[in-house]
Chain A
Amino acid sequence: MYVAVKGGEKAIDNAHALMRTQRRGDTAIAELSVDQIRQQLPLAVDRIMNEGSVYDPELAALALKQASGDAVEAIFLLRAYRTTLPRFGYSEPLDTEQMQIERRISGTFKDLPGGQILGSTYDYTHRLLDFSLLASGEAEVAPAEANALSEALAAGNSCPRVLELLNKEGLIEQSRETGDGDQIPRDLTREPVNYPAERAVRLQNLMRGDEGFLLSLSYASMRGYGDSHPFSGEMRTGRVSVELVPEELGFPIEIGEVLLTESEMVNQFHGSKDLPPQFTRGYGIAFGRAERKAMSVALVERALRAEELGEEVLYPTQDQEFVLSHTDCVSANGFVSHLKLPHYVDFQSELEMIRRLRKEQGQATQSKTTNEEANA
């Protein structure tokens, strides 16, 4: 129970002014621009876009600046802003096979068609602090000239999916039944999640889910609190064209491109009475360069398929309601943060109850002791 508390207006105004001062920091140091954040902290920007569930790097960078770098606060700002915009329909399903690859690696096949392309990565670095960045020296950049282009990359040809190699032998499940038409997926921004939730809704939920939460769930399920220790079949990052069909035109047009990271996990599956032993898939995708997120989504996504694949649901990561209702950092933060609101009356009542209980217990002990003394 909350009681209206008045009298804090002046203090709140001053607290916000102080926040703005602290956000600005030492005025002798140049102010950070939104463009600088967007260009130089792109991985932080990508996280805001993912969990804010809006692809717009400039808005995400602005939110990050406004929130003094607090990711969850920035995500909240972006989510709040999206509610002010009208919805112009749905895009055509993005064709990630036509992605312009900037990075693509497989943990299952060394010589995959199209090759392993490392792109830009922190993998294989020694994780030693680079003090040249502290000295504000110019950072080393990639040489302008590069190797001769492979024909496929130069022509912008699509790279076939690694898992299709297994598909040819029938060793892996298909991502859809042949002859299945497209179903219109439920949109959890328009209707609440019903359990059990279909795969499309689970993916939408995971894509906007908290990266840390999903990472930890994946870790737990790989360590034994779940049955998910897969191979990374393929991970790819690159640009994909976005198409939509405006009502007034009636044909699809390209409206721009998005940078995406996609992860496909290959899990063992021992088969069931209806299905032969084969590999199954976990799928993850994220805005921008967000491998940790995409992999975590793929791992949790696969764990949540336990029920449909006839696996026993034994662990929290396999429990839809446990996972899907706790992924959202805005909800989680809101509920934890609400404890900061005045609970004066609730607490008063509990305080009085504890006092009364202690008093009653004290009286009972005292009368018991008196009785024992009398009986002695």
Chain B
Amino acid sequence: MSVEQQQENPETRARQHWMGVLAKSAGSTLQQHWQALSLEPEYQFIRQPETGLTMLRGRVGGSGQPFNMGEMTLTRCAVRLASGTLGVSYVAGRSPQHAITAALADALLQEDDTQALLQHELIEPLQAHLHAEHQQRAAQANSTRVDFFTLVRGED
């Protein structure tokens, strides 16, 4: 399947969404919600958590040709559940625990019997948390919006 075809696939879209939520959530918040679920799935590492760098790319002028901006730390991990389902994570930063939990959650979210539970008890609360932070920053920024007074000069 080509990249475009995969992105069109609703299952892929759902997976992209939860992987994004798991990666963007603070490690401590993720851990807190994960531990509250008391899940202890059997798994083995396909790839132990490994920290490395990715080169961030920007665009000249914001929308022009790509250029290399500088690197960013990230940690990746891959696990296989007893059922054979693979869970993968790529998470900004250097936290092995964050990467392991995100990979496990990714695997369980692909399993029919755990998907609904994790969506409701993990992804939705984390998403709400991210949204609240987003709104908080938006409100702070908005409080500094300038309202100009315009003085009318001349005839018109």
Contacts and interface: CB of A to CB of B under 8 A. Distances in A.
- Does B associate with A? yes
Interface of A: 49-50, 53-56, 58-59, 82, 85-94, 96-97, 100-103, 110-111, 115-120, 142-143, 146-150, 153-154, 156, 161, 175-176, 180, 182-189, 199-201, 203-204, 207-208, 239, 241-242, 244-246, 248-258, 262, 264, 281, 283, 285, 287
A250 B76 CA distance: 15
A93 B88 contact: no
B141 interface: yes
Nearest to B138: A153
B56 interface: yes
B111 interface: no
Contacts of B78: 248
B66 A184 contact: yes
B62 A97 contact: yes
A204 B69 contact: yes
Interface residues of B, number: 56
A204 to B, nearest CB: 5
A156 B7 contact: no
Interface in B46-79: 50-74, 76, 78
A362 B141 CA distance: 76
Given A118-B144, A244-B90, A256 B66 contact: no
A117 B145 CA distance: 4
Contacts of A186: 68
Contacts of A241: 20, 24
Interface string B80-100: 000000001011111000000
Given A86-B50, A93-B57, A187-B55, A242 B62 contact: no
A85 B61 contact: no
Contact of B54 (A101, A153, A244): A244
Contacts of B12: 251
Interface string B2-41: 0100110000100010011001100000000000000000
B20 A254 contact: yes
Contacts of A251: 3, 6-7, 12, 16
Contact of B61 (A103, A188, A281): A281
Of the candidates B52, B65, B143, the one having the most CB atoms from chain A within 10 angstroms of its own CB is B65
A176 B3 CA distance: 25
A324 B88 CA distance: 40
A225 B138 CA distance: 41
3 closest Cβ pairs, A-B complex: A256-B92, A175-B61, A254-B20
A102 B137 contact: yes
25 contacts: A54-B71, A54-B72, A55-B70, A82-B53, A85-B51, A85-B73, A89-B55, A91-B54, A91-B57, A100-B134, A117-B142, A117-B144, A149-B138, A149-B139, A150-B142, A175-B62, A200-B65, A208-B70, A242-B54, A248-B88, A251-B6, A254-B23, A264-B61, A285-B58, A287-B70
A253 B19 contact: yes
A87 B62 contact: no
B145 A116 contact: yes
Contacts of B66: 93, 182-185, 200
